[in-house]
Amino acid sequence: MKKLMSGNAALGEAAVLSGCTCYFGYPITPQNELTEYMAKRMGELGRVFIQSESEIAAINMVLGASVAGARAMTSSSSPGMSLKQEGISYLAADELPAVIVDMVRGGPGMGNISPAQSDYLQATRGGGHGDYKTIVLAPGSVQELTDVVPLAFDLADKYRNPVVILGDGMLGQMMEPVSFDDIKPPKEYPKDYILTGAKGRPARMVRSLLFDTKEEEEHNWKLVRKYQRMESSEVRYETYLTDDAEMIVVAYGIGARIVRGAIKRLRQENLKVGMIRPITVWPFPAAAIQEMAKTVHDFFVFEMCAGQMIEDVRLALAGKGHIHFYGRPGGIIPTPIELYRIIARHYYTAARRKK
């Protein structure tokens, strides 16, 4: 059965159904409905909910809950995510699972509360200090936002690593019909690292301080190997009309959805435009783009920011092909018609160049 729900509330329900037993959050627009939803639902279910004194406290409560063995989540939006980075770095270093939701808004600084995609680099490069990565899932509809939640908890447990769900203000605020029929709690992994009190076993310690540089290097290589496993196993993306495409748009999240509308119009005029939509923006579908570059010359990157994912596309193409770019920073959402016009213009320019 479908229900008309906002992305924020739907994500909350999906977290509840995924077996999230602890939620910690601090109010910030445009994700407040998620915190409010969790306050109500976690209370009803006798699970843990705390409105923390700050985003810093929230992420550290997540860390505490995670080290105690719970499935824990926090959520925020851009300025709050900056504050959470310290804790995310510790979660990664301590190898603790957690799910962190970021409903991105315009920035830098206070910015505004409109939807944006300007925190791509923060999310995909670790975001805090040190050599670490987080898996970053970037859904494009309320249903997909819901569907990635059990996946996020599963990946977090599987790799013992924080996982970020990268949404935006629009995805959080908009309502769409959503079904929870397929949301099942992910499997439980053996947790031989959690702190429960050293009953009938040697004491455990969970830490990231490794004074011995050799030990620290070994630990970091171990993390790197884990990230390499993620890169080889966890890349997720969707292609749309790429088979005969002469130009491929790279876009994610809500941006990709608008691109889809633009491509429908472009196709009506026989412009052979397709799209690759990364669902994991880290690990990035670089190999898929490289494969496409064997037959396609023109790649068009669209982002609701001044250009961040374009760096990953550049790295993937490694000098091959030609990259076109259109960005709208500052919380502005372009229309499908606007994108249709821009992409068409670039398409014709590219066609002339080829002649």
Instruction: By CB under 8 A, name the binding residues for another protein.
Output: 2, 4, 21-22, 24, 29-30, 48, 50, 52-54, 56-58, 60-70, 72, 86-87, 90, 94, 113, 169-170, 173-177, 195-200, 202-209, 257-258, 260-262, 264, 333, 335-337
CB of residue 52 vs another protein: minimum separation in angstroms?
7
Q: For another protein, give the closer residue by CB, 262 or 316.
A: 262
Tell me which residue has tokens 């709050």. Answer: 80
How far is the C-alpha of 88 from the C-alpha of 73, rounded, in Å? 12
Nearer to another protein, 73 or 230 (CB): 73
Distance of CA 340 to the CA centre of its chain: 26
Q: Report the nearest approach of another protein to the CB of residue 214 (Å).
A: 17
Minimum distance of another protein from residue 42's CB (angstroms): 11
CA distance 237 to 285: 7
Give CA–CA dist 142/179, Å, rounded.
10
d(CA 96, CA 243) in angstroms, rounded, equals 41
Strand order in the sheet with 273-278: 237-240, 273-278, 247-250, 298-303, 322-327
User: Considering the complex, what minimum distance in angstroms separates the CB of residue 29 from another protein?
Assistant: 6
User: In this complex, which beta carbon is closest to another protein, that of residue 247 or of residue 316?
Assistant: 247
What secondary structure letter does DSSP report for 77?
-
Distance, CA of 36 to CA of 27 (rounded, Å): 9
- Relative to beta strand 2-6, strand 280-282 is unpaired
Q: Which is nearer to another protein, 196 or 228 (CB)?
A: 196
CB of residue 142 to another protein, shortest distance in Å: 8
Q: Sign of the C-alpha dihedral, residues 293, 295, 297, 299?
A: negative
Nearer to another protein by Cβ, of 318 and 337: the residue is: 337
Cα 187 vs. chain centroid, distance in angstroms?
21
Crossing angle, helix 78-94 and helix 55-67, to 10 degrees? 30
| Backbone phi and psi for residue 271, each to the nearest 5 degrees, phi listed first | -90, 120
Nearer to another protein, 139 or 321 (CB): 139
CB of 294 to another protein, least distance (A): 29
Q: Tell me the closest approach of the beta carbon of residue 286 to another protein, in angstroms.
A: 27
Residue closer to another protein, measured from CB, 68 or 315: 68
Q: For residues 246 and 129, what is the distance between their CA atoms, to the nearest angstrom?
A: 40
